[in-house]
Structure 1
Amino acid sequence: MHEQDVDASKAPLLDHIIELRNRLMWASAALFIAFIACYLVSEQIYAILMRPLVLAFDGDLTGRRMIFTAPQEAFFTYLKVSFWAAAFISFPIIAAQIWMFVAPGLYKNERRAFMPFLVVTPILFFLGGAMVYFLVMPLALHFFTLFESRGTATTLPIELETKVSEYLSLIMKLIFAFGLCFELPVFLTLLGRAGIVTSTGLAQKRKYAIVCVFVVAAVLTPPDPISQISLALPILLLYEISIWCVRAVEKKRAEREAAEEAELSGEKTDGDGTSGGG
């Protein structure tokens, strides 16, 4: 009898492992197919990522060029760009596979509560990436091009000749970093739902958060004030939004607990009345 119980307990575990394997296979297949598709159009993706640098030169590309200093550098850079773009494209499918694996283990009200997070997460991530692409990178690159000089009779000219791998690594890293930083409201709201953080605690630690935000901005962005402030200010705004979101979660939790307590009190009163009547 004991062995039968052990075998029965193993069966659900094997089912979960098989389900996890299937979800991972679908997610990997989506990433691989997206990678192949992106590599076929990697030159077009390269041109899109190059747009902020073109804007920094005000569209005047006379005498401008990108360089690579190792024979394999350009090839591996295209591979990296293709994988990066594939991760963006396949993210909804990967997230859907994760959700399909987790959702059966949640109650209906829990699934309903998590749906807004699934919708907001990619939106915030793409907003962070768009801010890098359309605002931060053009401003930062324009700032750096100001250090070019034509040279004089006694000095050599200083011209920007950007390495392909370094530029693309910089913009891809910044898009990814800004996208993650824009997930702050989602992260803190989930912690608030779990009871790990409170709106009061977040508000009291605001001054420490400001310091941490500027430190993170200094680490993630190029060493210019424009990029650092462009990242720090939106994160501080998102921090304030996070406090409001956590406060809303706490209010709903308090209302739910009050309703449950009132229901229990009503049941107890009915029970006492019935006993008294008997």
Structure 2
Amino acid sequence: MATTIQNPPPTSPGPEPEEEQLGGRQMSFLEHLEELRARLLRSAASILIGTGICFYFRDAIYGYMARPLTETLRSLGYPDRLIYNNPTDPFNLYIKLSMVGGIFLASPYILWQVWLFISPGLYRHEKRYVWPFVVLTSGLFMLGGLFAYKMAFPAALKFLLQFAHQFQPLISINEY
């Protein structure tokens, strides 16, 4: 008995199933660098815009950020004003607050730019996991900040200021 081996029928030279899911064109290394540069410049511009907005509202932002300390100092009978040791300290404080606030304001746009850079290289099944991750981590980040501002920070300040009740606290704006 002779056995005949048949070759499988030829397949069309189409793309592989996983390659099909990429959806986008192939880019050279330099094109990737140009794309990255454009995304970074847009992100930096958004930080500058956010910093400018926060600098405009600097007094309100400072009042909000200093409230846990001033309320704790007042509740313990201490003066509720912060001090500074250098004439440039208040200006530096406002710049730092504005920059951190600008980064915070610009973060959704920055994350969107990161997504636009990364997403063309992901498969469809990988893209499904991104949105639940982003929503969950953003929500937990905000809840963590709220918990720190409302609970942890005031409790820690009260403990530390009561611990050394025999001393007069002179808290500098640089140290706060």
> Is the structural similarity TM-score above 0.5?
yes
Query: TM-score, structure 2 length as denominator?
Result: 0.77
Residue 82 (structure 1) aligns with: 98
Query: TM-score, structure 1 length as denominator?
Result: 0.50
Deviation at 1:23, TM superposition (A): 0.9
Correspondence 1:148 to 2:157: no
CA contact (8 A) 1:64 1:161 kept: no
- Superimposed CA distance per residue, residues 196-240 of structure 1 (whole angstroms, 9 cap, x where no aligned partner): xxxxxxxxxxxxxxxxxxxxxxxxxxxxxxxxxxxxxxxxxxxxx
Deviation at 1:54, TM superposition (A): 2.5
The one of 129, 142, 146 equivalent to 1:130 is: 146
Residue 115 (structure 1) aligns with: 131
Query: Structure 1's 61 and 49: CA in aligned 2 closer, same or farther, altered over 3 A?
Result: farther
Correspondence 1:163 to 2:158: no
The one of 111, 136, 143 equivalent to 1:95 is: 111
Residue 28 (structure 1) aligns with: 44
Q: What do you get for the CA RMSD once the two structures are aligned? A: 2.0
Query: Structure 1's 34 and 71: CA in aligned 2 closer, same or farther, altered over 3 A?
Result: same
The one of 65, 70, 74 equivalent to 1:54 is: 70
Q: 1: CA distance between counterparts of 2:29 and 2:137? A: 30
CA contact (8 A) 1:67 1:162 kept: yes
Residue 196 (structure 1) aligns with: none
CA contact (8 A) 2:73 2:79 kept: no
Whichever structure has more helix as a proportion of its residues is: 1
Alignment of 1:162-201 (within 5 A): 162-167=171-176
Identity value in percent: 33
Unaligned runs of 5+ in 2: 1-25
Correspondence 1:42 to 2:51: no
Query: Structure 1's 61 and 48: CA in aligned 2 closer, same or farther, altered over 3 A?
Result: farther
Identify which of structures 1 and 2 has the higher relative contact order when contacts are C-alpha pairs closer than 8 Å and 6+ apart: 2
CA contact (8 A) 2:74 2:80 kept: no
